[in-house]
Amino acid sequence: MYAQPTQRVDLRHLVEQYVALTKPRIVLLAAFCALIGMLLASEGMVPWRILVFGTLGISLLAGAGFAFNCLVERSIDAKMARTRARPLARGEISAGGTLLFSGVLGGVGSALLYAFVNSLTMWLTLATFVGYAVIYTVILKPATPQNIVIGGASGAMPPLLGWTAVANEISAPAIVLFLIIFVWTPPHFWALALYRVEDYRKSGLPMLPVTHGSEFTRLNILLYTVLLLATSVLPVVIGMSGMFYLVCALALGGLFTWYAWMLWRDYSDALSRKTFGYSIFYLAALFGALLIDHYL
């Protein structure tokens, strides 16, 4: 009779480990971007059914992709300081259990999108799952230093998915939202890879700082950040946003470019960390500015 509290603790710990597989913070960012896409596609209020089940379905499929990613990369994760605490890397969860968990999340997410949103969003979200979990994780990531550029297409999908959930079509504004995150991904990730280069060297993954060195990677970060600044103006060019967003985009992009310039000129791990941290703030602030401008 004294075993029940321990059993409850063990069950809670197991649940926490499975939740950790889904990389909740990244799922929240994906859900935020999808929500922005929904709100931007709507002239008024987003129908509650699309808002709730669209966000939930996209989040579940994102979590399924991350869990599958952890399954494929468990041996690599065990070699890296940043990832060795993940449940699969520590051997706390079985491969079979993870595969089943990923399948259930993906199945439920797809069913919700098909039943309560629309088939276009369901198929696009499912394609995003395949793109990230299979094409990026299994094929591209171990094969080319351009993995994050090509694979970034999957990570750029959430706002487009949010848009199609409401509009049930892919239009120019949805493509622009996709392009912003697509161009943002390389400088964001390479800033992390620079100060984690020894981790990636141990892992055997052909990340750009490992294969081409720090200076080349920093130059690419700068070039992509300049391209991002130009891409971030596209909502104004197509008439999607106005002056408030333009000012915010130029200010946010200008600071990002300054970080990239300083990183290229005088590298330090501390500056690389700051650049990575700012890149996350940048994306959230840019999409927040898009949303505020939409309702002005």
CATH number of the domain residue 294 falls in: 1.20.120
Last residue of a domain, one of 107, 135, 167: 167
In a shared domain, residues 157 and 182: no
Last residue of a domain, one of 167, 187, 210: 167
Q: What is the mean pLDDT of residues 30-52?
A: 91
Q: What pLDDT score does 98 carry?
A: 86
| pLDDT single digits (tens) 233-243 | 999 999 999 99
Longest dimension (CA), the chain: 69
Last residue of a domain, one of 167, 191, 210: 167
Q: What pLDDT score does 6 carry?
A: 53
82's tokens = 């940043």
In a shared domain, residues 178 and 151: no
In a shared domain, residues 25 and 109: yes
* Mean of the per-residue pLDDT values of the chain: 88
pTM: 0.87
Residue 17: burial class (beta carbons within 10 Å; 0-12, 13-18, 19+): middle
Q: What angle do CA 217, 220, 221 make, to 5 degrees?
A: 90
In a shared domain, residues 232 and 189: yes
> Where would I find the H helices in the chain?
4-21, 24-41, 48-72, 74-77, 87-90, 95-116, 119-130, 147-155, 158-167, 172-195, 197-203, 208-211, 213-231, 234-237, 243-265, 269-295
In a shared domain, residues 293 and 191: yes
In a shared domain, residues 182 and 295: yes
121/87: higher pLDDT = 121
2/154: higher pLDDT = 154
Q: What pLDDT score does 5 carry?
A: 55
What 3-state DSSP class applies to 230? helix
Expressed in percent and rounded to 5, the helix, strand and coil fractions of the chain are 80, 0, 20
Among 248, 294, 212, 283, which Cα is nearest to 32's?
Answer: 283
Residue 88: burial class (beta carbons within 10 Å; 0-12, 13-18, 19+): buried
Distance CA 193, CA 171 (A): 34
Q: How far is CA 189 from the centre of its chain?
A: 10
**Around Cβ 243, how many Cβ atoms within 10 Å?**
10
In a shared domain, residues 12 and 94: yes
Q: Which domain covers residue 252, as residue numbers? A: 171-296
Let me know: does 207 contact 145? Beta carbons within 8 Å. Answer: yes
Q: What pLDDT score does 7 carry?
A: 54
| pLDDT single digits (tens) 161-216 | 999 999 999 999 999 999 999 999 999 999 999 998 888 787 777 888 888 899 99
Q: What is the mean pLDDT of residues 84-109?
A: 85
In a shared domain, residues 187 and 96: no
In a shared domain, residues 78 and 149: yes
**Type of residue found at 28:** L
In a shared domain, residues 205 and 261: yes
116's tokens = 């309560």
55/14: higher pLDDT = 55
Statement: residue 282 has pLDDT above 80 = yes
Statement: residue 265 has pLDDT above 70 = yes
Q: What pLDDT score does 8 carry?
A: 57
Query: For the chain, how many structural domains are there in total?
Result: 2
Let me know: does 203 contact 136? Beta carbons within 8 Å. Answer: no
DSSP H/E element including 30: helix 24-41
